[in-house]
Structure 1
Amino acid sequence: MAVAEQQTVADAVPATSSRVPTVIVDDVHIVYTVYGAGTGKGSATAALARLMSRKANPNIRRVHAVKGVSFTAYRGEAIGIIGSNGSGKSTILRAIAGLLPTESGKIYTDGQPSLLGVNAALMNDLTGSTNVLLGGLAMGMSQQEVDERYQDIVDFSGINEKGDFISLPMRTYSSGMAARLRFSIAAAKNHDVLMIDEALATGDRAFQRRSEARIRELRKEAGTVFLVSHNNASIRDTCDRVVWLEKGELLMDGPTDDVIKAYEEHTGK
């Protein structure tokens, strides 16, 4: 499996283009290797024998997660990515972020894509306050910038609405509290390309409204936002374009209302 080619958009698009592309996904295929039970067992002699006989291990299989997907994202767009479970939504985001290799095809990006997911690791033994500091520094913010934005991050997350939770270790947080803080840290910085995986699905409606408003601000500041969510209401409120993936294939790419209507008719929801 070849390492994904993370090239700049300038390599793929002439400078005379009237709209500014930020991400180009060009005929991308992504294949996972899944190791089943028993793949770690057996002797080295048996493994060598399989190699010599070119016999495949029956406990190892390849899953074609993304199949020939192509699209172009432009500066100022907010793009929703929808589809049923296992359709390749999170996989394509991880590939754009450079976290997954492609089997074939190319991905071009303008600037550094940032992936925000509800499963992103936080330091559970450290306080929320320390995680704000470390998260900001990890995104490239200076100590002064983190200090200046610290209170806004805490207020946005709503962590302290029912007590001084920001001073407690992250392991004491509910999954919703951790997800809200994670989104708040990521949204404190203007990103060239921000990718959000299910972040808006966590939290009450008030937090979702704050999140949606912040995404609109990011769009105005010339960034591109991708949002993966099963919440069609959040997609409608936030995105003006939707990419629909199903079984790893691109089924539809167009205006939000048109694509979601087709998706809901397809799923019966």
Structure 2
Amino acid sequence: MGQATSDTRVPTVVADDVHIVYKVHGAGAGKGSATSALSRIVSRRKSPAIREVHAVRGISFTAYKGEAVGLIGSNGSGKSTMLAAIAGLLPTERGGIYTNGQPSLLGVNAALMNDLTGERNVVLGCLAMGMSPAEVKARYQDIVDFSGINEKGDFISLPMRTYSSGMAARLRFSIAAAKTHDVLLIDEALATGDQRFQRRSEARIRELRKEAGTVFLVSHNNNAIRDTCERTIWIEKGELIMDGHTDEVVRAYEKHNQG
């Protein structure tokens, strides 16, 4: 079968004029009497210590099944916020996000239990993704081997708190990548680890795309974006600057940063 035409492509994520606003509590936001707080609520006045940050401003795009989409932008541009919103972790102030299937967010801050061993975290992480105990048992060794955790010793039997941030990130990616996802959202996972692990990660993302899913990757590593994604979205100050072929978008982004 040849590649699907634009008419037959299956949309998996639609962002429609998305606005996301954070409410930031400044100094003194937790102080004051309950009476004054109730008065503000009743009169719908805002607390003077609460500041609103318009993190995402009117972003629209459609992602399709089998795509790997890079999200780039400077620190604080809104790309990780956008990822969290696609995952359903942040509400939109205006506009909407519509997904076909369940998005799964993988980030370097994904919750694993620091006091438990890597082995227990693999088992619990896989069970939490909906795998059966038999599936976990069958895939366990592949997950450990993929992560490279045990290449320099028996780290998988040690508590997660003994891991470096890079080791922990590699294990998180390995657990998440063991399952086929409708929409897999990856935040900086490929920025950790050596080149061998990055190559394994990129190959696994290509497999996930073939198996069904759509992959979003947020990274400051432009080479990882180039190697992994055919399409890239550039976000700056919460606004969509460019959406197109990765080479063109990354080149424009790098030229902007050099200027």
* Same fold per superposition (TM over 0.5): yes
Which residue identity is paired with 1:137? Answer: L
CA distance in 1, matches of 2:144, 2:196: 15
TM, length-normalised to structure 1: 0.91
Shift of 1:206: 1.1
Q: Who is 1:177 aligned against?
A: 167
Q: Does 1:138 align with 2:97?
A: no
| C-alpha separation in 2, matches of 1:126 and 1:52 | 47
1:153 matched to 2:153? The reply is no
TM-score normalised according to structure 2 size: 0.95
Equivalent position to 1:214, from 200, 204, 216: 204
Q: CA shift at 1:215, angstroms?
A: 0.6
In structure 2, the residue matched to 1:76 is 66
- 1-structure distance, mates of 2:183, 2:141: 24
| Correspondence for 1:31 | 21
Deviations 1:198-226 (A, max 9, x none): 00001111111111111111111121100
Q: Report the Cα offset of residue 55 of structure 1.
A: 4.4
CA offsets per residue over residues 20-71 of structure 1, 9 Å max, x none? 1111111111111111121111111232344466543221011111111000
Question: Could you say what secondary structure the match of 2:88 adopts?
Answer: coil
Residue 95 (structure 1) shift? 0.8
Q: What code does the residue aligned with 2:157 have?
A: S
Map of 2:97 onto structure 1: 107
Moved more, 119-128 or 53-62: 53-62
1:257 matches 2:247: yes
> Deviations for 1:174-211, whole angstroms, at most 9, x for unmatched residues?
11110000000000001111010000001111111111
Q: Report which stretch shifted further, 128-137 or 41-50.
A: 41-50
Structure 1 Cα separation of the partners of residues 158 and 43 of structure 2: 57
Pairwise CA RMSD: 1.4
Q: In the aligned structure 1, how far is the partner of 2:77 from the partner of 2:184?
A: 21
Alignment of 1:44-123 (within 5 A): 44-51=34-41, 55-123=45-113
Give the AA of the match of 2:201: S
Structure 2: gaps spanning 5 or more residues: 1-5
- Tell me the amino acid that sits aligned with residue 258 of structure 1: E
